[in-house]
Amino acid sequence: MLKEKINKYSFLLIAVVFMWIKTYIVYKTSFDIEIENIGQEFILFINPLSFLVLIFGFGLFMKEKNRNRFTVITSFILTLVLLANMIFYRFFNDFLTFPILFQTNNMGELGSSVTSLFKPVDLLLFVDIAILIWLMRKQNAFGEERTSKKGRSAYFLLAAAVFFLNLGLAEIARPQLLTRSFDREMLVKNISLYHFHIYDGLIQSKTFAQRAMADSNKLTGIENYIKASKKKPDDNLYGIAKKRNVIIVSLESTQSFAMQQKIHGKEVTPYLNQLANKSYNFENFYHQTGQGKTSDAEFLVDNSLYPLGRGAVFFTNSDNQYTATPLLLKKEGYSSAVFHANNKSFWNRDLMYHSFGYDKFFDINSYKTTPETTVGWGLKDKEYFEQTADLMKTMPQPFYSRAITLTNHYPFELKPEDKMLNDAGTSSQTVNNYFQTVRYEDEAVKHFIEKLKKDGLYDNSIIVFYGDHYGISENHNDAMEQILGKKITPYENIQLQRVPFIIHIPGVTDKHPKNMKEVGGQVDIRPTLLHLLGVKDNGRIEFGNDLFSKNRFPFTVMRDGSYVSNKYIYTQNKCYNRKTGETVDVKGCQPLSDKAKQELDYSDKIINSDLLRFLQQRKNE
C-alpha cells in the first residue's frame, strides 16, 4: 500500500527534491550568505523545503495528467526566479524585490549589463526540468484520479510542520526576524528566497495602505526628532557662495579608493586629486544608497532623506509631495535643471524631477550623439560635458543644476582610443576595466572645468562632485585584495563604500582649502550646500547636518542599517573599532544601531505615507 502511494506521487516528490537541492546549490555558489555555525547551515539547507512542498502540493487538487504538467510548469517558473536573483545578485549583491520588478521600463536600458552578467553555466539550472519532461513522457501518466481529501490533509500538515520547524529554528537563531525587512540576506538565510518574495509582497501591500491611512500627527514626532538632532551650522561659512550658480556633478560608480590608487605608477584620478587639494574635500564620506543606486543618490542630494530599503523611491513614490532643493531655491530666485544623456523615463526621472520642482530636464533629446561619441550606456563623458556646458549657458542665472555622468557604468566599456592606463592585471576584468573608465572620467572632468572657464560660468559658480554609489561589488573581493594588498573583511567593505565629495568655490577654496576627516554621507549634502548659499533652515524636514558644524556628531547611516561613527563601524551584526578594524563587544554599538534604525524608519514613514503633503496643508490652514 505504501509503495503504491510512493509510486503514485513519485513524480511530484522527485520535482520537490530536484528544486530543493538546486536552490541550496544556488545559495552556496551564487549568493554570498554568511554562515557562522552548523545550526545556520542546517536552517539554510531546509528553508526552501516547506515552500516547495506547499507550492507543488497544489497539484494534488488536479487529475494526474494535469498534476504532472503543473509540476513541470511550476519548476520552470521557480527556476526563472532563481536565475533572475542570481543575475541581479552578481552586480548588486542583493535580492530582487517587488518594487524593482515594477521598474520594467528600465529593462530595455539594462540590456548590455544583463548580457554581461549571464553565464553559459546558468543553463544548468534547467537540467532537472528536462529530466522531468523526459520522465513525464516515459510514465505516460494520464490518470483521471485525484488525491483523496485525507491524503491532501496529511500532505499539507507535513508542509505546515516543516514550515513551523524552519520558522522556530530561525526565530531562535535570529529573534524578531520578521521585523528586519531591510536585511534581505538575513531573511533569505532563515526563511528561504521564496518565502522572502512572499514576505516582500506583503510589505509592498502594507506600504500602499500606509499612504491611505496617514495623518499629520505622524509627522509631529518625526519633526521633534529632527529638531533635537539638528546641530548649529558654522556661521563663518554662511552665505560664502550666495547667489552663485550651483553645478553638482554625479560621478557614476566612483569610489574613493580609486582616487587614492596608482596603476603601474600612474594616478587613476590625477585631476580630481589636484582639484581636491584646492577645495573642501571630505575624506570619510560615504554613499547611502539602496537598490535605486544613482536615483537613490539623487534623492538623498535633493531631499536629505534616506532612500527606501526596497526598490527605488523614484518608482514607488514619484507622485509624493516633496520639499526638494529646487523648490527651496526657487524662492531664492534660482532656476533649475538636470542634465543627463539618457531617456527621460529611465528610473522614472521625468515624473520625479517634476515632483522635485525642476524647471527643465535636458535628456538624451537635448544632446547630439553619433556612433563615434557613444560607448556603453550612451554619450561619452567628454562629449557629454562639452554639450552640457553649452546647455548651461542657456539657463537663467543663478541656476541650480545637476549633471549625471554615464561612461563609468558597469560593465565599464571603453573604446581603445580613450584608454589612458595599462591594464591593472587583476583576476577580474571588471576591476581592470573599472580603472580605465575612472581614468577617462577624470579626464572628462578636467575638460568640463576648462570649458566652464572658457564659457564664463566658472568664476560665479560653486561646483560640487560626489560619487553616487559603489562600482565594484563584493563579488570582486579577490581582485580588490590584489589591488589593496589586504583581506576584504566586512569592516574593509564598509570602508570601500566611501565616495568622493568635493566642494570647489572658485576664488574661495583655492585660497583656503580644507581637508575634512570627519565622517559624513550623502544625506548631509543638502544642508551643507544650502548653508553655503545663505539659505536659512526654517524647520526643514531633513536628516542631514551641515558637515562644517563644529557641534556635529560624526554619524553616517547606511541603507542596510550599518553605520559609521567617530569610534565604531557597525555592519553585519558586528561591531568594529573604527581606527583599528578590530572587533569589539557588539553591545558598544547597540545604542547607535538603535538610532540608525530609528532614522531609517522615520524616513521610510515620510516617504511611504507621503507625510510632507501635510506641510502644505498646514500653510493653507
Catalytic residues: 294
Classify residue 113 as exposed, middle or buried by CB count within 10 Å of its CB (0-12, 13-18, 19+).
Answer: middle
Q: How far apart are the C-alpha atoms of 477 and 483, rounded to whole Å?
A: 10
Calpha distance 157→332 (Å, rounded): 66
Residue with cell 531655491: 329
- Can you say whether the dihedral through the CA atoms of 572, 578, 584, 590 is positive or negative? negative
Residue 219: name the closest of 608, 621, 575, 560 by CA: 608
**Bridge pairing between strands 374-375 and 568-571:** unpaired
| Alpha carbon distance 249, 462 (integer Å) | 11
Residue 409 DSSP code: -
Q: Facing residues of 267 across strands?
A: 262
Q: All 3 cell numbers of residue 191?
A: 526563511
Give the type of residue at 105.
Answer: N
Instruction: Order across the sheet with 280-282: list the strands.
Output: 360-362, 335-339, 399-404, 245-251, 461-467, 501-504, 280-282, 514-516
- State the cell numbers at 430: 571588471
Choose among 562, 614, 548: nearest CA to 222: 614
Q: 43-53 as b/e, with b when 16 or more CB fall inside 10 Å?
A: bbebbbbbbbb
Query: Which position has the grid cell 514626532?
Result: 221
C-alpha 564/C-alpha 597 separation (Å) is 13
Return d(Cα 573, Cα 320) in angstroms, integer.
Answer: 33
Compute the distance between CA of residue 620 and CA of residue 93 in angstroms, rounded to an integer: 45
- What does 2-70 look like in DSSP terms, one character per residue? HHHHHHHTHHHHHHHHHHHHHHHHHHHHHS-----SHHHHHHHHHTTHHHHHHHHHGGGGS-HHHHHHH
Distance CA 16, CA 452 (A): 63
Under 8 Å between Cβ of 352 and 381: no
Pull the grid cell for residue 148. 483523496
> Which residues have CB under 8 Å from 466's CB, separation 6+?
248, 249, 250, 251, 285, 297, 301, 499, 500, 501, 502, 522, 525
- For the purposes of burial, counting CB atoms within 10 Å of the CB of 146, is it exposed (0-12), middle (13-18) or buried (19 or more)? middle
Dihedrals phi, psi of 93, to nearest 5 degrees: 50, 45
**Would you call 332 helix, strand, or coil by DSSP?**
coil
Q: Residues 400, 360: contact at Cβ < 8 Å? A: no
